[in-house]
Chain A
Amino acid sequence: MSDSYVIIGDGIAGASAAETLRQEAPDAEITVLTDEGESLYNRILIKEYAKGKLPEAPISIHQESWYDDHDVDLRLNTVVVDIDVANDAVHTHEGETFEYDSLLLAVGGTPQQLPVDNSDADGIHHFWTFQDARNIKESVEDAERAVIVGAGLLGIDFAAICGAQDVEAKYLMRGDAWWRYALSEEGAEIMHEAMRERGVDPVFDSGVDHFEVDDDGHVEAAVDPNGERYECDFAGVAIGLNFNTELVEDTSIETENGIVVDEFMRTTVDNVYAAGDITTFNDLVLGEQAKNGSWGSAKEQGTIAARNMLEYGSDEFEWVSSYSITHFDFPFLSFGHPTIGDESVEATTAEGEWRRVALKDGKVVGGVLIGDLSPQSAFKQLMREGRDVSDQTDLLMEPGFSVDDLAAATEQQ
């Protein structure tokens, strides 16, 4: 049995794997390598720090002493530059080599830059690390006008930060609605209104053609493809992630918009596993390959990967993920895969309450809830059970919907 474990990445996936390995294999040698300068922190709370709502301290999850106490060898500021799967070793930027019996890649993604002129100017921010949050906070506190690009779950964090820091912002969107792949205009309008109330103005059929900079190289304006110019001294760009697969490019590890793993989180190389945002995994709920980009899923994948590193086949990943937005006085939640499917149903269930459920072959594959999150568990249960609800989709839109409302005849499996 393997007893030397190397984990690349100390985000929630890597750290939960380290915790599980230590719990279940008290004698194992565990090394965690991270290119960040700090150990595990709460990535989903750094936006609250940038908003000025939270101090730094509660965002830390594992102090460095945690690693000593659990006999885990943590190496900060350590970039892994090469993986040698033939010799079971990884190499770092400083020429150090770490050999392993079993390796976990929990390397996540890196925010994409806009492919336009001046996209790397001062004052233009991307958002992934705690250090990004510190830079964003400092920059936004001095700003008067902002531009935000990227009409998705991370872009709206920039909107909330500008709102909380009293910075007037233009939110430039390519289509006619925020997160148009998951919401219709009606649902999105609830979000637009919440942004407007905070001084963030959505601008539709827009985007960025290029940024203009002043003599010091600081962003001064964004010009959209229609030629409209939006002055700004802060810009937040959140247009998606590049998954950090370059490490495995020269190996036999399969990639497909991430690192391909089975339901046990094992890659195509027997003693190499992956977990978290980086994976393209065999989704047992969906019955096909999928990607998740959420905290809960990354944590669970780290735990499952660790168990299978100890004993392959011992635990499989079967999970319906969810992701909430808590910036406004009403809650928002997306679950499963709301942007896929061949059909959808949606309804306004009360004032300010809206929901949309995406279906594929008559089964729920994901959705969005705004205002009323109470059907969250029922919809997740339907997904897990793979229930065919094609004849009763109108029931899914009933305000107090519960799984028991569906006719027993639709039960499958």
Chain B
Amino acid sequence: MSLRESNRRMRLRRTGIIPADARVRHYDELGEETQVTVRELAGRPRTAPEADDLDDGDVVKFTDYYEVRAR
């Protein structure tokens, strides 16, 4: 399972600046369910339940760079 037992929801915000201390994850490193979530959220003003292989502040490299915000 790649969904956390938490009520936090995440969204992805396109970002151009990648801080040196950010954890950057390539799409191919993510579990299949997280990949689905990334595809659904990337570039869209939507939220989804937080995936367990991504954390608030992570940056995902998909067709662009996206910062994970989880609340």
Residues of A in contact with B (beta carbons under 8 Å apart): 42, 44-45, 48, 53-59, 294-296, 322-324, 326, 328-331, 373-374, 376-377, 380
Please state if A331 and B18 are interface contacts (CB–CB under 8 Å).
no
Provide a sorted-by-A list of 20 A–B residue pairs whose CB atoms are within 8 angstroms.
A42-B24, A44-B29, A48-B61, A55-B18, A57-B21, A58-B18, A58-B59, A294-B28, A296-B29, A322-B28, A324-B27, A328-B63, A330-B63, A331-B27, A373-B35, A373-B39, A374-B39, A376-B32, A376-B35, A380-B32
Q: B62: which of A57, A296, A331, A374 is its contact (CB, 8 Å)?
A: A331
Cα distance, A227 to B39, chains bound together (Å):
45
Please state if B39 and A45 are interface contacts (CB–CB under 8 Å).
no
Chain B residues closer than 8 Å to A373, beta-carbon distance: 35, 39
Please state if A58 and B23 are interface contacts (CB–CB under 8 Å).
yes
Cα distance, A324 to B21, chains bound together (Å):
25
Chain A residues closer than 8 Å to B62, beta-carbon distance: 326, 331
Given A53-B65, A55-B20, does the pair A326, B32 have CB atoms closer than 8 Å?
no
Cα distance, A328 to B61, chains bound together (Å):
12
Please state if A45 and B20 are interface contacts (CB–CB under 8 Å).
no
Name the prevailing secondary structure of the B interface residues.
Answer: mixed
Chain A residues closer than 8 Å to B22, beta-carbon distance: 58
Q: A58: which of B24, B27, B29 is its contact (CB, 8 Å)?
A: B24
Q: Looking at the assembled complex, report how far the CB atom of B18 sits from the nearest CB atom of chain A, in whole angstroms.
A: 6
Residues of B in contact with A (beta carbons under 8 Å apart): 18, 20-24, 26-29, 32, 35-36, 39, 59, 61-65
Cα distance, A296 to B24, chains bound together (Å):
16
Please state if B18 and A53 are interface contacts (CB–CB under 8 Å).
yes
Q: Looking at the assembled complex, report how far the CB atom of B54 sits from the nearest CB atom of chain A, in whole angstroms.
A: 14
Chain B residues closer than 8 Å to A376, beta-carbon distance: 32, 35-36
Cα distance, A42 to B35, chains bound together (Å):
18
Please state if B20 and A326 are interface contacts (CB–CB under 8 Å).
no
A-B contacts besides A48-B24, A295-B28, A328-B63, 12 pairs, CB < 8 Å: A42-B24, A45-B61, A54-B18, A54-B24, A56-B20, A57-B20, A58-B20, A58-B23, A58-B24, A294-B28, A326-B62, A331-B39
Residue of A nearest to B59 (CB): A58
Q: Looking at the assembled complex, report how far the CB atom of A384 sits from the nearest CB atom of chain B, in whole angstroms.
A: 11
Chain A residues closer than 8 Å to B35, beta-carbon distance: 373, 376
Q: Looking at the assembled complex, report how far the CB atom of A267 sits from the nearest CB atom of chain B, in whole angstroms.
A: 27
Cα distance, A164 to B40, chains bound together (Å):
26
Chain B residues closer than 8 Å to A374, beta-carbon distance: 39
Q: Looking at the assembled complex, report how far the CB atom of B21 sits from the nearest CB atom of chain A, in whole angstroms.
A: 7
Chain B residues closer than 8 Å to A54, beta-carbon distance: 18, 24
Chain A residues closer than 8 Å to B61, beta-carbon distance: 45, 48, 326
Residue of B nearest to A373 (CB): B39
Cα distance, A52 to B24, chains bound together (Å):
15
Chain A residues closer than 8 Å to B64, beta-carbon distance: 329
Q: A326: which of B21, B27, B36, B59 is its contact (CB, 8 Å)?
A: B27
Cα distance, A303 to B17, chains bound together (Å):
33
Please state if B28 and A324 are interface contacts (CB–CB under 8 Å).
yes
Cα distance, A56 to B22, chains bound together (Å):
11
Chain B residues closer than 8 Å to A59, beta-carbon distance: 24
Chain A residues closer than 8 Å to B39, beta-carbon distance: 331, 373-374
